[in-house]
């Protein structure tokens, strides 16, 4: 029950963060949803940091992993908003923008996760 509440609380914070950042950044560009892209790239980086932290620092609580990865990051990053934005671009016949956005989200998030993981590896080596 404890994890259920912690994950729910972290998910609320992640969802609120996504909502606020999306409102702030998506208003900067009328066609290209920069907010969702930024959120997913930052979320990818933070997931890499989390994965690295739990790999390199074995004394971290498995409960903390659930709270961070499933609760906060699971609700911060958003595949459903990404899908909706791609669909809206396709409805407007913005094929190049759609394909660019797909590549940026997918490849960018994976690269950011790797960068986050490397960052924790460097921190571990310097300790």
121 SS3 class: helix
Work out how many domains the chain is built from and give that number.
Answer: 1
Half-sphere exposure of 65 (CA within 13 A, CB side): 12
Q: What is the pLDDT of residues 63-107, one digit of tens each?
A: 999 999 999 999 999 888 899 999 999 999 999 999 999 999 999
What single string gives the DSSP state of each residue in 96-122?
HHHHHHHHHHHHHHHHHHHHHHHHHHH
| 74 labelled ligand-binding | yes
| 15 labelled ligand-binding | no
Q: What is the pTM of this model?
A: 0.91
Q: For residue 31, what pLDDT is reported?
A: 79
Element spanning 54, H or E = helix 34-56
27 SS3 class: coil
Domain that residue 119 falls in: 2-126
- Asked whether residue 30 carries a pLDDT value surpassing 80, the answer given is no
Q: For residue 101, what pLDDT is reported?
A: 95
Where does the pLDDT of residue 34 fall: very low under 50, low under 70, confident under 90, or very high at 90 and above? very high
């Amino acid at each position: 029950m404890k994890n259920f509440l912690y994950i729910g609380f972290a998910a609320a914070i992640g969802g609120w963060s996504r909502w606020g950042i999306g409102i702030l950044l998506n208003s900067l560009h009328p066609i290209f949803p920069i907010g969702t892209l930024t959120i997913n790239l930052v979320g990818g980086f933070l997931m890499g940091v989390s994965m690295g932290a739990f790999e390199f620092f074995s004394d971290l609580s498995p409960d903390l992993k659930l709270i961070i990865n499933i609760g906060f990051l699971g609700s911060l990053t958003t595949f459903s908003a990404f899908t909706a934005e791609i669909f809206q671009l396709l409805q407007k016949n913005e094929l190049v923008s759609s394909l660019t956005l797909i590549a940026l989200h997918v490849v960018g998030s994976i690269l950011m996760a790797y960068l986050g993981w490397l960052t924790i590896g460097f921190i571990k080596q310097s300790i």
